[in-house]
Amino acid sequence: MYELEEKGYLYLLIIIPILVLLFLYIQYWKRKKQRQFGDLELLKKLSPERSFFKPILKISILLLALACFIIALVNPKMGTKIETVKREGIDIVFAVDVSKSMLAEDVAPNRLDKSKQLVSQLINQMGNDRIGIIAYSGSAFPVLPITTDYSVAKMFLQSMNPSMISAQGTSLDEAINMASTKFFDKNDKTNKLLILISDGEDHSENAEDAADEAIKAGLKIITIGVGTEKGGPIPLKRNGIVESFQKDQNGETVVTKRNAEILSKIGKKSKGYVDGNNTKTVLDFVKSALDNIQKTEFEGTQAANFQSQFQWFLGLGFFLLLLDVFLLERKTKWVQKLNLFNEKE
């Protein structure tokens, strides 16, 4: 297992083929000038110690040293094993609304990106909890099963968008039911928490009933409302540029508003509701809620810490530079004595 810490430096490798082309051009230019001044065979006899192979070897060593330095900048890291560790925490599932109304920009940069930022910040302040992610709109979709790998969770989180679910609208009950019935092992005694993030525009009428059933089954719920009561239009973009806004059947621009009422009703049944427009308020609220939930010991697997390997490439690069310094361009005496190519008449 390995990872590259600074992948951007890999673009520097393009310097190597450029230098190769430059070297070939210089060699061509030299031979062309030599032909202008005299016969090549005569020049060989006048400089018998000059090696044709050594300049190629020297430039190859220099380019290899350069490649080593670039790879050292990239800093490859390697892990050696997957280990099982015991942790104490709870199971948390983030259910993120990805309906088109979440593209409204009444909060910056938009409701969906604000939701992603909140989840990412909440993950950052977690210690030993297991987490999972659900995306939902008209239906629910399991993005990431319960895991202890926070970096993978953040990667999947950033890929979430409205196009990942074909059924549009917002059905809070779909997210609650999936978290309650499919994400958690009923035989696992670990406390379970659902953090439901939405603008509250629920197109179903079963959200409260679904929440009641889930709470009876032992699921705790926190709801977070993103957006404003004033609302905003839903932009339709192409290549990041707004071309128009979502319109209804009558051709009127749709204005989507946050419905905090339904989210508040669901949240108050369990661990509460919080306004998601203020990041600090959300972080403090969730932290306080987590502190009041009993932690349970469980086993989890994680990769051993990746170790930086840049020093090996750095050392090899300096060794190659040192070798190049002592490598002269004239022919090596003992190679000449071998007469491998019958050069001696």
What is the residue range of 214's domain? Answer: 83-301
User: Could you give the 3-state DSSP secondary structure of residue 8?
Assistant: helix
Task: Specify if 343 maps to a domain.
Answer: no
Are 74 and 317 in contact by the 8 Å Cβ rule? The answer is no
User: Could you give the 3-state DSSP secondary structure of residue 22?
Assistant: helix
DSSP 8-class letter at 181? I
DSSP, residue by residue, 43-60:
HHHH-TTB-SHHHHHHHH
Measuring CA to CA, which residue among 166, 169, 231 is closest to residue 202? 169
Whether residue 320 sits in one domain with residue 173: no
Whether residue 172 sits in one domain with residue 32: no
Mean pLDDT, 10 residues at a time, the chain of 345 residues: 80 93 88 70 60 79 93 82 70 94 93 96 89 92 89 91 83 91 77 93 84 92 94 87 84 90 93 94 94 78 68 92 75 51 47
Neighbours of 61 (CB within 10 A): 16
Phi-psi region of 342 (alpha: psi -120 to 50; beta: other; left: phi over 0): left
Give CA 67 to chain center in angstroms: 25
Measuring CA to CA, which residue among 104, 273, 90 is closest to residue 172? 273
Give CA 202 to chain center in angstroms: 31
H or E segment at 35? helix 15-37
129's tokens: 């909890």
Strands 140-147, 130-136: pairing is antiparallel
Neighbours of 75 (CB within 10 A): 19
Which residues lie below 8 Å from residue 134, measured CB to CB, with a gap of 6+?
93, 94, 95, 96, 140, 141, 142, 143, 175, 178, 179, 183
Phi-psi region of 3 (alpha: psi -120 to 50; beta: other; left: phi over 0): beta
Give CA 251 to chain center in angstroms: 39
Whether residue 94 sits in one domain with residue 48: no
Task: Determine the Cα–Cα distance for residues 229 and 104; give it in Å rounded to an integer.
Answer: 12
> What pLDDT does 85 receive?
64
> What pLDDT does 45 receive?
59
Whether residue 173 sits in one domain with residue 38: no
Whether residue 271 sits in one domain with residue 183: yes
Task: Specify if 11 maps to a domain.
Answer: yes
The helices-and-strands tally (H runs, E runs) of the chain is 11, 15
Whether residue 143 sits in one domain with residue 175: yes
In the chain, helix, strand, coil percent, each to 5?
45, 25, 30
Task: Determine the Cα–Cα distance for residues 205 and 171; give it in Å rounded to an integer.
Answer: 8
Task: Specify if 174 maps to a domain.
Answer: yes
Measuring CA to CA, which residue among 263, 107, 274, 135 is closest to residue 200? 263
Long-range contacts of 247-252 (CB under 8 A, 24+ apart): none
Whether residue 167 sits in one domain with residue 35: no
Whether residue 46 sits in one domain with residue 95: no
The separation between the first and the last C-alpha atoms of the chain, rounded to the nearest angstrom, is 57
Task: Specify if 68 maps to a domain.
Answer: yes
Task: Determine the Cα–Cα distance for residues 179 and 184; give it in Å rounded to an integer.
Answer: 7
Whether residue 318 sits in one domain with residue 178: no
Task: Specify if 96 maps to a domain.
Answer: yes
Task: Specify if 58 maps to a domain.
Answer: yes
Domain CATH number, residue 219: 3.40.50.410
Measuring CA to CA, which residue among 168, 269, 282 is closest to residue 225? 282
Are 182 and 241 in contact by the 8 Å Cβ rule? The answer is no
> What pLDDT does 288 receive?
93
Whether residue 182 sits in one domain with residue 167: yes
Task: Specify if 344 maps to a domain.
Answer: no
Phi then psi for 304, rounded to 5 degrees? -60, 150
**Number of structural domains in the chain:** 2
Whether residue 140 sits in one domain with residue 30: no
Task: Specify if 117 maps to a domain.
Answer: yes
pTM, to two decimals: 0.63
Whether residue 124 sits in one domain with residue 216: yes
> What pLDDT does 302 receive?
56
